[in-house]
Amino acid sequence: MPTDHSRDDSRRVSLLLGLLFGLAGMGSSSAAIALPLIGSDLDVSAGTATWTISLYTLMLAVTTAVYGRFSDLVGIRIPLLVGVSLMTTGAVLAAAAPTFETLVLARMLQGAGAAAVPTLGVAVLNGRYSGAVRGLALGRLAGMAAAISCLGPLLGGVLEEALGWRAVMALPVLGLLVLPVLWPALTREGSGARLDLLGALLVAFTAAGVVLVVQSPSTGFVVLAAGVLLLVLGTPATIARVRRRPHGFLPMSVVRNGTVVRSAVAAAAVPASWFALLVAVPGVLVAHGWEPWQVGLLLVPSAALALVVPRVAGPLITSAGPTRAIAVAGGVATVALVIASVGATTVSAPLLGVGVLLVTVAFGLGQPAMTAAVADAVDADVRGVALGVATLVFLVGGSVGSAVVGGLGEPIGVGWSLAVLAALPLLGLATITAELRRPAVLD
């Protein structure tokens, strides 16, 4: 059972975790601002350059459940240390990459390491606090993470202007400075069971298939065929693995838990919107004469707003319940995408800025609401993997969001690609309709 620590402790721990989460998120937000220069420097198209975001986010998604399961087995300290080490190594390699192919591989390694942060961060808070204190802590984590991520484009733009895009790639190395301060709050205890590596690989291949199919319009038939093949082979193989190993990488108790699955699917529209705008806004404005640092400056109000959102998110999750909070976040995400779609079509910076402001609110509410819903729905011995699986689905949504803009942005335009994506939050709401009809259960 979670233990209620002092509010001062919950504030410190949650803000530090949010800082680490934000630095991991900077791997996308700061890199997105550098995409135009990366494309021209390494001789690839704008649509192809978005693979550095999509594949980063994909690795972030597919390995996040590995860390969740790993933490159940050995505690949080070792998995988080491994993850932050991989994240910083990938950042250094990306900064030194001589070719686009090398850059993509380094970004994938960076994403595989950064995946430790979101899952293990919320696992720390869910295991350490309960009730209203937990809700506030989760809200602070999401708010700080969103604020740092929103500052990523500005910092990335300034660094790109002064030192070039390679310096932007190295930003996540700063995560090494946060880990020692967090160390005392991290647990070392686990169940000692073994990790189902085959199950993890099957899930990774299947999720990769989704992203390849979505981004294939900008990359051709070979990528589409590869994605379809991964889906056709990976989906039944994953199902068979779960049935054969009910306590493996995807525990049957988690997969069959309707609250976990529905909450994750519904909430996935939020990062889809977030990552879509991270790619779309710089792409549209830089193409029309804006400097990267000017785009970053446009997004600074979102960083300030992100710090305020937890004051609303925590109490709303506690009073209305996590599922209703997810529904609100999905609705806000849809509005954000519609406004940003108009902004991209008309090249209106104010509308694009409003879209980012709204999606910041959606992220600051949707992410802690999803983690609270999942944590409440499972037993403590599988909480880490349940949060990992939910975060996997959540972040696959982010990868799909950037892939939609990268894949459809060239054939139909960025504005229309955002309009297509605006339907995703509505589909997510449909998955939790039954749960919305139930009375809210308050902590």
CB 36 within 8 A of CB 46: yes
Q: State both tokens at 103.
A: 């850059």
Q: What pLDDT does 181 receive?
A: 80
Q: Alpha-carbon distance 77 to 173, whole Å?
A: 18
CB 245 within 8 A of CB 199: yes
Q: What pLDDT does 348 receive?
A: 92
In whole angstroms, how far apart are CA 177 and each of 43, 85, 332?
Answer: 34, 11, 34
Task: Report pLDDT digits (tens) over 63-100.
Answer: 776 776 677 677 788 888 888 889 889 989 988 888 88
- Of the chain, the percentage scoring pLDDT greater than 70 comes to 87
Q: Show the low-confidence residues of the chain (pLDDT under 70).
A: 1-8, 27, 46-47, 65, 68-69, 72, 187-195, 211, 214-220, 381-382, 384-385, 407, 409, 436-443
Domains and CATH numbers, the chain: 7-180+195-430 (1.20.1250.20)
Q: What pLDDT does 195 receive?
A: 65
Q: What pLDDT does 245 receive?
A: 83
Q: What pLDDT does 278 receive?
A: 80
Sign, CA torsion 94/118/23/402: positive
Q: Alpha-carbon distance 398 to 231, whole Å?
A: 18
CB 383 within 8 A of CB 123: yes
Helix (H) or strand (E) holding 188: none
Q: What pLDDT does 192 receive?
A: 52
Q: Alpha-carbon distance 25 to 57, whole Å?
A: 9
Q: Alpha-carbon distance 387 to 375, whole Å?
A: 7
Task: List Cβ neighbours of 435 (8 Å cut-off, separation of 6 or more).
Answer: 259, 262, 323
Q: State both tokens at 243.
A: 């049935």
Question: Dmax of the chain from CA atoms?
Answer: 57
Task: List Cβ neighbours of 296 (8 Å cut-off, separation of 6 or more).
Answer: 33, 151, 152, 153, 154, 155, 156, 157, 158
Q: What pLDDT does 207 receive?
A: 74
Task: Report the predicted TM-score, pTM, of the whole model to 2 decimal places.
Answer: 0.72
Q: Alpha-carbon distance 83 to 91, whole Å?
A: 12
